[in-house]
Every structure is written in C-alpha cells, then in structure tokens.
Amino acid sequence: MAAPSEAAIELYRSALLDPSLRELREDYCRVTAGALRGVAGWLGMDAYLGGGDVTAGRAADRQDEERFVAFRGAASVIEMANELAAGALALIDQNLRYASSAMIRQLIETEYLLTAFALEFSRAADWTRATPDEIRKKFSPKAMRALGGFSNLEYWQHCDMGGHPAPSGRPLLRFNLAANPADDEFLSASVWGDLAQHLRRLWQSADSLLCDQHARYADVRSAERESVALADERWSAADPLAQPVDFALLDGLLEGDGS
C-alpha cells in the first residue's frame, strides 16, 4: 500500500480541525449516545417481560426460552454500550483523551458481540449463560473479531492507545508532552472522530439486530432511529471523514480537484 501523500494528510488534518465539521461529528456522537440510552432503557424492561416476540397483538408466552434469554443478553450488551458511549463523551468533554480511548476500545468489543448475535441470535443466549472462563475463551475479542470479520490491526491499535497502559498512549496525555503541544487540538479532534466512527458502527449493529429480531422495535423506537438518521445525514453530507479514513480516496479527491 502506497504511503499517503502530504496533501492527503493535510486534507485529513484540516477536515478534523474544521470547526463546522467538528460540530457535526460531536452532534452525531451526542445524538447517537442519547438514542442508545433511550433504546437501552426501553429494551431492558421489554426483554425482562419477554416482549421481543410479540406478534399480531399477542403477548409472548415465553415457550421459546432460548429467545427470551437471547433478548436479555442483547439488552445487556446494548446497555453496556450505552454506558460506555456516555462515559466516553463525558471524558472527552473533560479533555481526558486517554481515558476516553479506553472507553472506545470497550465500545468496539460490544459491537463485536452485537454483530455475533446478529449472525446467530441464539449466541446471545449462550453469552448470557456463559461462565467467566467461557467468556474468556468462546467470547473473547479475538474470537469475536474472527467471527464478524473485523480487523485485528484496528483493535490492536486501540489497545495500544487505550488498553493496558503502554507507551503508545502517551501522545493522548495532556501534561506528559509526548506530542507537540501545537497538536493538542488535533489530538482531541482525532478522538472525537474516532468515537463518531465507532458509535456509528455500534448503532448500525444494534439497530440491524433489533430490526431483524424484535417484532416492534422499528415502530416503538422510531423517534430515536429518525434522530440518528438525521444526524448521520447532516454529518455524511458535509464531512469527507464521515466514512472510515482512506488516504487513497483522499488522494483521489485531491486529484479530482486539481490540487
């Protein structure tokens, strides 16, 4: 893979630091985190009551115990994702970039699980019943990455920056001066951009799972779904970094502009 051009890197930096684009990313994060909270609050009680399989106006009789347990598991992971998203936002607002990156790494792991549940919903029941040893083996991040086709490198990079304390996380610290102080705003903007990308993926995983498996989700939680869709539309229409960063694509955009 060819190294990105200096022009592509500069476009990336300028887009990250552009005040209007930063506002769109931050707005997307706050809207999506709020929507996750609404869905988590509703789904926790709904799953407890066994409402996920309500069809044609009839309450589920819970004869299908596996699906009942699976909904409980999915509800748990979505609420965990909600708390991690809220925690990451609160930490970024306090300029605690390293701590926020640790939350984002955990958020990625909830996305792995929701993707695995979407591929086979009974897996959510298996997760709910799993012992700690089974969680470490059967539901480890490595196992879930392989199952969902996620990038090892992406996860390792997040572990380096916000996993177990490691020198790679030093640039995110504000007083350690491992990075040029002039890059302080750029580093903060990078964390916002990273959170926005992963919140989008997490939301898409949760939304797709519930649309497929829950009889009433799309109608009952239409307000949250619409709010996220509108925030995503505003962000995607304006920000070249709304999609995963591809420097080859950025180079192509620059060539198209004659830059």
pLDDT attached to residue 2: 57
pTM of the model: 0.86
pLDDT in tens, the chain (259 residues): 456 677 777 888 888 999 999 999 999 999 999 999 999 999 998 888 876 664 434 444 555 788 889 999 999 999 999 999 999 999 999 999 999 999 999 999 999 999 999 999 999 999 999 999 999 999 988 888 888 888 888 887 888 778 888 888 888 888 877 777 778 898 899 999 999 999 999 999 999 999 999 989 999 999 999 999 999 999 999 998 888 765 454 444 445 544 4
* ∠ CA 102-181-23, rounded to 5°: 60
pLDDT digits (tens, 9 = 90+) for 186-205: 889 999 999 999 999 999 99
- Spatial distance between the Cα atoms of 38 and 224, rounded to a whole number of angstroms: 7
- In a 13 Å sphere around the CA of 109, the CA atoms on its Cβ side amount to 20
DSSP 37-106: HHHHHHHHHHHHHTGGG-BTTB------HHHHHHHHHHHHHHHHHHHHHHHHHHHHHTT-HHHHHHHHHH
For residue 6, count other CB atoms closer than 10 A to its CB. Answer: 8
Alpha helices in the chain (DSSP H): 6-17, 19-49, 65-93, 97-119, 122-129, 132-138, 141-148, 152-162, 184-213, 217-220, 222-238, 247-256
Domain range summary for the chain, segments of one domain joined by +: 18-51+61-256
Nearest residue to 214 via CA among 81, 63, 39: 39
Query: Could you tell me if 229 and 138 are in contact, meaning their C-beta atoms sit under 8 angstroms apart?
Result: no
